[in-house]
Amino acid sequence: MPDRRQPDSPTDDNPFAAPPEGRPDQPWQPRSGGDGGNGEGPGDSDGSRGPARWDPTDPIQRRARYALLAGMWGFFFGIFGIPSVGLLLGALALYWGISALRGKPAAATGEPGAPTGLDALGPAARPQRTAAVSGLVTASLAILLAMSSYGLQLAYKDFYVCRDDALTSAAELQCNTLLPDNVIGDVLKVRQ
């Protein structure tokens, strides 16, 4: 392999190139951005690693994440026909979402004009607020699905009792006469 020569141009800033001859290797350092070379990246503020850092010890952030997860799973349980679990998870997600939006931070100061809730987190509040609001929305949907399921069972109780008590498939088909002649009746109808 022929000997490769390094370009003599001082503008060459190839980070993978070997150092010039006579100069020792240097440990790796991140490149400085266009902000004067102070070593901070674009997300750094006050020398920290970024404004939106997940802190599992902060109850506000934890409740916002719990609200999102519980609301999402409550919605899935409501869709898949387990309304009791969907209702429970939806209620928990509502509680956690509201308490995350209204809660006080762990290191709250007693000043009367100090911001409370997620506003006290400053720039880190945006992802937590998004998680809490998303948890509230999915919790509302989960509770709506559970309540509509219970409402259908209450409105068409005669049909459900007849269907559950039927001993043969012919008797189960007879229960279709208890349903109305509309879209709901077509959805709930016992198929052959």
Supply angle C-alpha 86, 88, 93, rounded to 5. Answer: 90
Cα separation, 142 vs 145, whole angstroms: 5
Inter-residue contact 165 to 190 (CB < 8 Å): no
Q: Spell 69-80 as b/e; 16+ CB within 10 A means b.
A: bbbbbbbbbbee
Please report where in the chains the tokens 């674009």 appear, as a residue: 42
- pLDDT at residue 46, as a whole number: 47
Residue 91 or residue 6, greater confidence:
91
Whole-number percent of the chain with pLDDT over 90: 36
Tell me the pLDDT tens digit for each residue of 123-161. Answer: 667 888 899 999 999 999 999 999 999 998 899 899 999
The Cα-based distances of 166 to 1, 161, 169 in angstroms read: 87, 9, 7
Query: pTM of the predicted model, to two decimals?
Result: 0.62
Say if residue 113's pLDDT is above 70: no
